Amino acid sequence: MSKHVHDENCNHDHDHDNSIVLVDDSGEEMKFEIIITLEHEGKEYALLKKPEDDSDDMFAFRIEEDEDGELLIPVEEDKEIEMIQKIYNELADEDEE
pLDDT at 76: 95
pLDDT one-digit tens code per residue, 41-61: 999 999 999 988 888 889 999
pLDDT one-digit tens code per residue, 70-82: 889 999 999 999 9
Predicted structure pTM score: 0.74
Distances in whole angstroms, Cα of residue 20 to Cα of each of 17, 23, 78, 85: 8, 10, 24, 21
Q: Where are the domains of the chain?
A: 2-96
Report the length, in residues, of the chain: 97
Q: Would you place residue 95 in the very low, low, confident or very high pLDDT band (cuts 50, 70, 90)?
A: confident
